[in-house]
Amino acid sequence: MIPGETLVLPLDLADLGSVRRFADDWSGPIDVLLNNAGVSSPTRRLTTDGFELQFGTNHLGPFALTNLLLPHITGRVVSLSSQAERAARIAFDDLNHERTPYRESRAYASSKLANLLFITELQRRLTAAGSPVLAAAAHPGLVATAMTRGSGGVLSRLLVRYLAQSPEQGALPVLLAATGDIPPGAFTGPEHAMHMRGGAELIGRSRRSRDPELARRLWEASEELTGVRFALVTT
């Protein structure tokens, strides 16, 4: 349990209006912004603003929230990603999966690659603006949560049931990213079982997720889709 006062405010990352209201109502400094909410859907669904649900909730919502809150952030921005990003590509001509057949795992992996590309470009922009804020990403591993227990096929559900770790264990890489001595743009994950279970350490990521041109292109597309832009002035 975290000591001190707890304030709970409504926020729906699948609704950009909700994101803007939350940011408008916020006052005071933010030591760490942890973008840890996410969804996975077996069927193609849409956000309030008409974006494919996984891309909209897992990437566009946190993208808008982070940029709107950035003037308040003093320490770190941490976004949750996944090693599923290694199998992903960003289809810029079909970000909402309107023309290609929808597959849950493909859409989820794409959103997780988007999370890493977001951190890549965010850190570049923060550094260019002379900001001390650090951006990082974390992979919690295979964790038994309401989302993982209800998504995927039979094999995926069996893997979660028998191999997944607890949410408390999955929080360790997130804590390392939020509070540890790590470099800018770092990616953290579990230490064992191919970075799927136990402990926390710095881990590798795909070359695609580190591509500065791809990160820039996704950022610009995200700005156009959300109407939200980088909030700091570049020095």
Could you say which of 51, 63, 108, 219 is catalytic?
Answer: 108
Annotated catalytic residue 162: no
Q: Which two tokens stand for residue 204?
A: 């590798």
Residues that are catalytic: 108
